[in-house]
Amino acid sequence: MFKFSFYDGDKSAGSDGDRPTGHPVTRLAIQEHPVPASPLLPSNEVSTLSLCGHQIKLLNGDQVILRLEREGAAGDLSLALKSHTDLIPDVYEGGMKLWECSQDLVAYLDAHVPLAGLRVTELGCGAALPAVFCLLRGAAAVTVQDYNREVVDHLTIPNMRLNVTATQLAGCRALSGDWGALAALLRTERRPGADLVLTSETIYSRESWARLLEAVDAALAPAGSALVAAKTCYFGVGGGTRAFEQAVLEDGRFSSEVVFATQQGLQREILRLKRC
Ligand SMILES: C[S@@+](CC[C@H](N)C(=O)[O-])C[C@H]1O[C@@H](n2cnc3c(N)ncnc32)[C@H](O)[C@@H]1O
């Protein structure tokens, strides 16, 4: 079973991923990040992933964090770097690493979803592999969002700039901050909703599901659908696809259907949510 390496700097913190005692509960506010409409040339921090007929260039998140630390710019990522953790609840949520369900999502999109012309939003994007793939397949407009602004500025946006043209970048939008604040912003803006909302490895913590569903609801066009790629069970944290399906049912806004499942390695699935 999959288990996150959680911050345990405070020994009173539970091993179940609870926030360490005394840690501030303040969640990050929403922030808009300019997306330069100019492609980026590969550097020695970039490697190439061959996936679904594309050679996708991606920055190595570990190297990026180390560079930011050297430059004194690691911000909220510093604590994670020092304590060698995958994530620290409400501080750093693991966006600098590329998680395996994002590749499941790309393979599913490749096989089942014609992306040309679609408006796409990726929530909790981190490296934004699915968003980059959507752009490579001709999505008309892509919005990406991650919790941490350092992730958006130093990983998400560079990964987009490494792979797509200036014209495509001009149609992209990047945001950082918590899903609750994102939902509030999107509801005030009243922009056209996304045809497709994507999210990968974002349902490990039950505590954030209500805000994630709120963000999906605010981002999605009336006839759109959301694809949630995740592990069946995040051991010790309480998250996973079965429990999330139950939460979706209780929330009442969406229907949920398993559209992909694999037993290879860790059990992983993709759920498709549609408005009821
Ligand atoms: C485990 S990482 C997965 C990253 C990426 N989707 C992937 O699959 O490689 C979880 C992602 O969800 C985002 N996230 C977690 N909780 C969040 C919240 N409350 N609001 C906004 N984003 C959140 C994090 O910033 C992080 O990028």
Q: Flag whether 34 is in a domain.
A: no
The atom number, within ligand 1, closest to the CA of 95 reads 27
17 confidence band (pLDDT: 50, 70, 90)? very low
pLDDT tens across 158-203, in order? 999 999 999 999 999 999 999 999 999 999 998 999 999 999 999 9
Q: How many Cα atoms sit within 13 Å of 41 on the Cβ side?
A: 0
What domain range is 97 assigned to? 93-275
The atom number, within ligand 1, closest to the CA of 96 reads 27
Of 49, 99, 122, 146, the one to substitute when testing ligand 1's pocket (max ligand atoms within 8 A of C-beta) is 146
Q: Flag whether 52 is in a domain.
A: no
Of 202, 204, 209, 228, the one to substitute when testing ligand 1's pocket (max ligand atoms within 8 A of C-beta) is 202
| Ligand 1 in reach of 146 Cβ (< 6 A) | yes
Q: Whose CA is nearest to atom 25 of ligand 1?
A: 147
Q: Which of 96, 101, 48 is nearest to 76 (CA)?
A: 96
pLDDT > 70: percent of the chain? 91
**DSSP structure class, residue 20:** P
pLDDT of residue 15: 35
Residue 237 Cα to ligand 1 midpoint, Å, equals: 15
| Ligand 1 in reach of 61 Cβ (< 6 A) | no
pLDDT > 90: percent of the chain? 77
Could you give the number of structural domains in the chain?
Answer: 1
- Mean residue pLDDT of the chain comes to 91
| Ligand 1 in reach of 131 Cβ (< 6 A) | no
How far is the C-alpha of 1 from the C-alpha of 232, rounded, in Å?
9
List C-alpha distances in Å: 115 to 141, 172, 193, 230, 255.
11, 15, 15, 21, 22
| Ligand 1 in reach of 85 Cβ (< 6 A) | no
Kindly report the pTM of this predicted structure. Answer: 0.93
Residue 202 Cα to ligand 1 midpoint, Å, equals: 5
Has residue 5 got a pLDDT over 90?
Answer: no
| Ligand 1 in reach of 237 Cβ (< 6 A) | no
Tokens 């407009």 found at: 141
Tokens of 73: 């710019």
pLDDT of residue 217: 98
Q: Flag whether 209 is in a domain.
A: yes
Tokens of 276: 């009821």
14 confidence band (pLDDT: 50, 70, 90)? very low
pLDDT of residue 77: 85
Q: Flag whether 210 is in a domain.
A: yes
Backbone angles phi, psi at 48, to 5 degrees: -110, 130
Residue 257 belongs to domain with CATH number = 3.40.50.150
How far is the C-alpha of 252 from the C-alpha of 233, rounded, in Å?
22
Q: Flag whether 81 is in a domain.
A: no
pLDDT of residue 10: 42
How far is the C-alpha of 239 from the C-alpha of 25, rounded, in Å?
20
Burial class (CB in 10 A: 0-12, 13-18, 19+), 174: buried
Q: Flag whether 45 is in a domain.
A: no
Q: Flag whether 23 is in a domain.
A: no
| Ligand 1 in reach of 130 Cβ (< 6 A) | no
Residue 148 Cα to ligand 1 midpoint, Å, equals: 9
